Structure 1
Amino acid sequence: MKDVVYVDLKYRIDDINFIINKDVIIKLNEYKQKYYSDPESGGLLLGRTDIHGNTKIIDITVPLEGDIQSRFRFLRKSNKHKDILAEAKKRCLYFKGNWHTHPINIPNPSWVDIMSWRKTLKNCKPGESRYAFFIIIGIAEIRVWSGDINTKEIKEAKLI
């Protein structure tokens, strides 16, 4: 069997790039819901934004004890995500958004996802980044949406 080679994934939103580090891709792929018994998973996106607005995801949080997982639902309930975020800041990594899985090949956001993303945008403070990012991991594809922190508009990012 041939080894899988992972590379950074690069997306375009307006005039900026959004990059998911290859090591993060490897981690995200571990949580794909390939089998009926696999629960939905999720966590935080941790990364950096350069002076041009380009954002790179360097790390993520993963499901932790206290989170709620089922076939079609993930709720981040563990306070440990906040502790990990505080530690990440010491490495100059900051909250950039959320990720979760869906048990289908090509994922689309549900109404619950959109409402959750709007809540995230409402709680984001304008400053370092213009966008918050939302990743859904499907079985065959990873899709990315961006939310403009100022206008609250959400749109899909294009893989480049």
Structure 2
Amino acid sequence: MPFLSQPSVLKVGVPEVSIHFDAAVLGHFERNRQSSFWSRESGGQLFATIRGPEWTVVRATGPRVSDFRRRFRFFPSRRDEQIEIERLFREGLHYVGDWHTHPESRPTPSYMDLHSMDEMVRRSVHELPGFLMVIVGTELSGHGLWISFHSKSGKSERVYLEPDAQLTSNHT
């Protein structure tokens, strides 16, 4: 069973944003998850088309040869990420966040994961209300994804996929 069934819509409460994940993006997550003991963390960026409060995530990039990857560490090449952002923006896509893997069935973010995403939102020059962070675990269900929205106000909101496919959120 894939991570999320189509159509997959995640609703963020504050600010109100509906996030749709294209099947190709979910497939990219699934192909790059750490499915064996020797698998290294992977990651990349998320790009979407934006029409008001409707975001459709259509591209997940990475991993790149220039990234630093170990079993429990992932550091992307910031230079190559900026090149991706500029190239895909010219193609009409907006950078909306980052994704990476964890070698656990139901992933949870580390302090460094949360801090780096909050810093990214704060320091980036953009007009979006915030960015997404997706952590891909090894479990092939909605529980195998950590999805959170990090707003300009400094708040983050995790979006849960419940077993009955109803979405709920938790503000922090």
Match of 1:148 in 2: 151
Kindly tell me the number of residue pairs found equivalent between the two proteins: 155
8 A Cα contact 1:28 1:137, kept in partner: yes
Give me the whole-angstrom Cα distance separating, in 2, the residues matched to 1:78 and 1:123.
14
Give the alignment of 1:63-74 within 5 angstroms: 63-74=63-74
Mapping 1:61-100, distance limit 5 Å:
61-77=61-77, 79-100=79-100
Aligned to 2:170: none
TM-score, normalised relative to structure 2: 0.82
Q: Which runs of 5+ in 2 are unaligned?
A: 162-166, 168-172
In 2, Cα distance between equivalents of 1:125 and 1:157: 25
1:107-147 Cα shifts (integer Å, max 9, x gaps) = 111111111111111123352x2121000001111121001
Three-state SS of the structure 1 residue aligned to 2:9 is strand
SS at match of 1:65: coil
Shift of 1:8: 4.3
Equivalent residue, structure 1, for 2:115? 115
Pairs within 5 Å for 1:127-146 = 127=127, 129-140=128-139, 141-146=144-149
> Normalization by structure 1: what TM-score?
0.88
Q: CA deviation at 1:66?
A: 1.6
Q: Residues 34-53 of structure 1: matches in 2 within 5 Å?
A: 34-51=35-52, 53=53
Q: Which blocks of at least 5 consecutive residues in structure 1 are unaligned?
A: none
Counterparts of 1:126 and 1:80, CA distance in 2: 18
Name the % identity: 19
- For residues 7 and 130 of structure 2, the distance between their equivalents in structure 1, rounded to whole angstroms, comes to 19
1:80, CA displacement in angstroms? Answer: 2.5
2:37 is aligned with 1:33: no
CA RMSD of aligned residues (A): 2.1
